[in-house]
């Protein structure tokens, strides 16, 4: 049975365009005879390129093109220079589809290393499939609790029931970080500390709203009163029940983790019904300029976590490009505003090169896993090392944490917005650009 073609192709014209923007030169792709006889290193990559989560993969073509231009299709492993191939698949924002394409990449394409990004609906099924098939996998862009605890058979059993993984590794921040960022931002605006929670019935929503590891226990300890109307289904079209509960509790702060179209629906209904809190800090939904621009002037001063920006003081291990330069290269190549996933998808490929360079044993998944565990790399999203720093013991082996700050969207003319960093206490090396302002 022949393997399927990648869901997303990148043509030569696109690669030339992106490589020019990134300051790299694209190789012709012609391999020397000795190299051509060697099997290529195969990297699988899965992300939600279509569907309601597609904004997370908006920069994929740029990153993949830039990666091919930088490496010129080759990786040096020991004394050998080997061709490298990236096989791309679209999860279509569907967990079942994500698992299916991961299985195809493993069984049909026989990838050496799996890379996967963007929300538990994609990272979790792909990681789980890799763990079953004993294929090394590196994932990102999902809070580590959503990725780690969300994949356990019995998460309600508490930490003693949670076990580590052998082949799957993750880097990102955790709920403890986003809670610290959000509550510190809220502290800059006088409120009655009444908070409305919007937690869907999905991997992120169940983790964020969890009474043990999520927002509820921390907010209670800090003196906030949380109104949680319960889990709603993704892509709902009626938030009347939630709005009624928030109005009754006089909520002046709204938080949650929503799909982009769901927050658009909620916010429009809220304004139509005369409900406007002083602060709205929403994960996932308003990470992207396009999501805020869709709200027109009603997006001003909405706030969210910021995991990567041009202000982050980090450089790529592949070509020394700074976060600022990488964001600028994307904007030049696409005529679009930078988005946060750019840095983390780029870092996935930085890790892939670093790991494979340190794995001379071809076709040995355990050797690749050992190389992942021994990673000690400075990347465009910060230093990455699976050393258990700032993690509970049960997650220490499989998770590497990255910095997190917070900020607000500020209208800069028409319907265009800038994302201004307003909170950096969790990582002061990332500079702030302003203070929190209440929603007018």
Alpha helices in 187-299 (DSSP H): 203-208, 215-221, 240-248, 260-272, 289-293
Question: What mean pLDDT comes out for the span 193-212?
Answer: 93
Instruction: Identify which of 13, 22, 2 has the alpha carbon closest to the alpha carbon of residue 349.
Output: 22
Instruction: Identify which of 306, 304, 301 has the alpha carbon closest to the alpha carbon of residue 340.
Output: 306
Whether residue 144 contacts residue 399, with contact meaning beta carbons closer than 8 Å, is answered with: yes
Question: What mean pLDDT comes out for the span 289-293?
Answer: 90
* Confidence grade of residue 415 (pLDDT, cut at 50, 70, 90): confident
Checking if the pLDDT of 323 tops 80, the result is: yes
Determine phi and psi for 320, rounding to 5 degrees. Answer: 75, 5
What are the tokens at 172? 């990102």
168: β partners: 137
Instruction: Identify which of 14, 38, 71, 51 has the alpha carbon closest to the alpha carbon of residue 261.
Output: 51
Q: What domains appear along the chain, each with residue ranges and CATH number?
A: 12-173+309-400 (3.40.50.2300), 175-306+404-423 (3.40.50.2300)
Residue 174 in 3-state DSSP?
coil
What are the tokens at 141? 């862009």
Largest Cα span, the chain: 73
Question: What mean pLDDT comes out for the span 198-218?
Answer: 91
Residue-wise pLDDT tens digits, 262-272: 999 999 999 99
Alpha helices in 312-364 (DSSP H): 323-334, 341-357
Whether residue 254 contacts residue 198, with contact meaning beta carbons closer than 8 Å, is answered with: yes
The model scores a pTM over 0.85: yes
Question: What mean pLDDT comes out for the span 287-307?
Answer: 93
Return the pLDDT at 200.
Answer: 95
* Range name among 209-213, 402-406, 428-432 with the lowest pLDDT average: 209-213
What are the tokens at 131? 């763990």
Return the pLDDT at 170.
Answer: 98
Residue-wise pLDDT tens digits, 67-119: 999 999 999 888 889 999 999 999 999 999 999 999 999 999 999 999 999 99
Strands annotated E in 273-415? 279-283, 303-306, 377-379, 382-384, 399-400, 405-413
Count Cβ neighbours within 10 Å for each residue of 95-120 and write b for 16 or more, e otherwise: bebbbbbbbbbbeebebbbbbbbbbb
Reported residue count of the chain is: 440
The DSSP output letter for 6 is P
Return the pLDDT at 160.
Answer: 55
Whether residue 105 contacts residue 111, with contact meaning beta carbons closer than 8 Å, is answered with: yes
Whether residue 279 contacts residue 293, with contact meaning beta carbons closer than 8 Å, is answered with: no
Distance CA 222, CA 405 (A): 19
Rg (CA), the chain: 21
Checking if the pLDDT of 192 tops 80, the result is: yes
Checking if the pLDDT of 28 tops 70, the result is: no
Checking if the pLDDT of 5 tops 70, the result is: no
Mean pLDDT of the chain: 89
Whether residue 183 contacts residue 414, with contact meaning beta carbons closer than 8 Å, is answered with: no
Instruction: Identify which of 10, 22, 89 has the alpha carbon closest to the alpha carbon of residue 322.
Output: 22
* Range name among 15-29, 340-354, 400-414 with the lowest pLDDT average: 15-29
Return the pLDDT at 362.
Answer: 78
Checking if the pLDDT of 253 tops 90, the result is: yes
Distance CA 350, CA 347 (A): 5
* Confidence grade of residue 159 (pLDDT, cut at 50, 70, 90): low
Whether residue 59 contacts residue 65, with contact meaning beta carbons closer than 8 Å, is answered with: no
Distance CA 215, CA 38 (A): 51
The kind and range of the H/E element at 121 are: helix 120-133
Instruction: Identify which of 337, 301, 339 has the alpha carbon closest to the alpha carbon of residue 435.
Output: 301
End-to-end CA distance of the chain: 60
What are the tokens at 37? 């006889």
The kind and range of the H/E element at 104 are: helix 95-107
């Amino acid at each position: 049975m022949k393997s399927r073609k990648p869901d997303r192709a990148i043509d030569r014209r696109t690669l030339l365009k992106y490589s020019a923007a990134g300051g790299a030169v694209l190789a012709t792709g012609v391999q020397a005879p000795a190299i051509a006889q060697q099997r290529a290193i195969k990297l699988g990559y899965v992300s939600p390129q279509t569907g309601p989560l597609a904004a997370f993969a908006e920069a994929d073509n740029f990153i993949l093109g830039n990666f091919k231009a930088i490496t010129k299709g080759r990786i040096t492993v020991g004394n050998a220079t080997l061709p490298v191939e990236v096989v791309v698949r679209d999860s279509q924002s569907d967990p079942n589809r994500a698992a299916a394409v991961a299985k195809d990449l493993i069984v049909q394409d026989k990838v050496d290393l799996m890379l996967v990004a963007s929300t538990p609906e994609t990272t979790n099924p792909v990681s789980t499939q890799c763990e079953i098939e004993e294929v090394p996998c590196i994932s990102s862009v999902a809070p580590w609790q959503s990725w780690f605890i969300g994949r356990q058979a019995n998460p309600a059993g508490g930490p003693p029931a949670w076990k580590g993984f052998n082949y799957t590794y993750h880097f990102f921040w955790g709920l403890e970080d986003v809670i610290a960022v959000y509550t510190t931002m809220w502290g800059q605006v006088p409120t009655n500390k009444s908070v409305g929670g919007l937690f869907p019935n999905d991997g992120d929503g169940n983790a964020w709203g969890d009474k043990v590891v999520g927002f509820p226990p921390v907010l209670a300890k800090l003196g906030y009163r949380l109104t949680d109307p319960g889990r709603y289904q993704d892509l709902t079209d009626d938030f009347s029940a939630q709005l009624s509960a928030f109005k009754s509790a006089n909520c002046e702060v709204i938080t949650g983790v929503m799909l982009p179209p769901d927050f658009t629906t909620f916010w429009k209904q809220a304004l139509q019904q005369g409900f406007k809190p002083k602060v709205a800090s929403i994960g996932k939904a308003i990470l992207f300029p396009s999501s805020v621009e869709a709200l027109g002037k009603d997006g001003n001063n909405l706030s969210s976590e910021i995991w990567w920006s041009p202000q982050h003081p980090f450089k790529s291990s592949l070509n020394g490009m700074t976060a600022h330069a990488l964001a600028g290269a994307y904007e030049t190549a696409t005529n679009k505003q930078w988005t946060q996933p750019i840095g983390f998808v780029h870092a996935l490929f930085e890790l892939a090169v670093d790991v494979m360079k340190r794995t001379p044993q071809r076709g040995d998944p355990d050797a690749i896993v050992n190389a992942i565990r021994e990673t000690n790399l400075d990347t465009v999203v910060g230093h990455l090392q699976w050393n258990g720093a700032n993690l509970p013991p049960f997650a220490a082996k499989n998770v590497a944490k990255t910095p997190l700050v917070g900020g607000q969207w500020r209208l800069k003319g028409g319907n265009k917005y800038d994302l201004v960093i307003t909170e950096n206490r969790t990582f002061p090396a990332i500079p702030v650009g302003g203070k929190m302002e209440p929603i007018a």
